[in-house]
Amino acid sequence: MTVSSRIDSTGLRLIAAVLALGAVLGGCANRTAGGDTLAYGPDDVRERHPIVLRDAPRSLDVFVGRAGGRLDARQAEDVASFAREFRLSGKGGLVAEVPTGDRRDRAAHDTLNEIRAELARGGVSPRILSVRSYPVQDPGLASPIRLTFASLQASVAHACGQWPSDIGSSDFKFSSSNAPYWNLGCSSQATLAAQVADPLDLVRSRDEGRPDMVKRMGAIAKIREGRDPSTQYRQQTPQINSTVGGGN
């Protein structure tokens, strides 16, 4: 092989490498919104994993003992907490599904009366409670009284943990696209939806409360006098190194 042919082959390899690199960079630069949405989903996690509001049931199982009687401390606390939650976010009525059969009717009746009393102490009128019955299927298993009401709840529109695209190197187009993998951000969106106290806060902000006119007029007076209107706290925050590690 002559020197010129070696130079020509080297140049061809160099040109091929440059073209391949250009194709890779072109794949990154020429991403289209339609193609990304179809293959990998939109880049914005709020669009890829949207939080939706839906009416969903909230339930509490109150277990019935064979002898009936009063609710124990744990179940009484659970019913009281459930009553507070119903007052805050309940929509419609409150339903109690009571087991029948297996010679526990009397015990279930006593437990239901205790539930009514605990709901009344929690500020929920017993008249709002609708009672339904269901047959006991297996006498060997616990058959609770189930309290249920509907409430507005926030959640991600689909289940997390789905992988429609291979994030490994087997999919060259995806690996070279710089697109976020589809499941990225799903768990954080689901956690946000579960933690929000009022789902309506995700839709609109609350009205502002009444302003403190005394504090506002005091700040305006300080500004007119050329003074700093910010609050001056007299108590100094201690430094960490002054309270920890005593010094040697």
pLDDT tens, residue by residue, 186-210: 999 999 999 998 888 898 888 888 8
List, for residues 74-106, the tens digit of each pLDDT value. Answer: 999 999 999 998 998 888 889 999 998 777 788
Q: What is the pLDDT of residue 138?
A: 83
Percentage of the chain exceeding pLDDT 70: 72
The pLDDT value given to residue 16: 60
Q: Which domain holds residue 111?
A: 53-152
pLDDT above 90 (res 149): yes
pLDDT (0 to 100) of residue 7: 45
CATH code for the domain of 114? 3.30.1330.60
- Predicted local confidence at residue 75, as pLDDT: 92
Residue 142 lies in a domain: yes
Q: In angstroms, what CA-CA distances link 33 with 164, 172, 173, 184, 241? A: 18, 19, 15, 18, 53
Over residues 11-21, the pLDDT tens digits come to 566 666 555 55
- Residue 77 located in a structural domain: yes
Which of 152, 147, 166 lies closest to 64, judged by CA?
147
Number of domain units in the chain: 1
Which of 61-65, 175-179, 239-243 has maximum average pLDDT? Answer: 61-65
229 occurs within a structural domain: no
Q: Which of 64, 137, 139, 130 is nearest to 97 (CA)?
A: 130
- Report how far Cα 23 is from the mean position of its chain's Cα atoms: 41
Summarised one tens digit per residue, pLDDT across range 156-169 is 999 998 887 767 66
pLDDT of residue 64: 85
Residue 39, in any domain of the structure? no
At 20 the pLDDT is 55
Nearest-angstrom CA–CA distance, 152 and 197: 11
Q: What is the pLDDT of residue 169?
A: 66
Q: What is the pTM of this model?
A: 0.56
In a domain, 19, yes or no: no
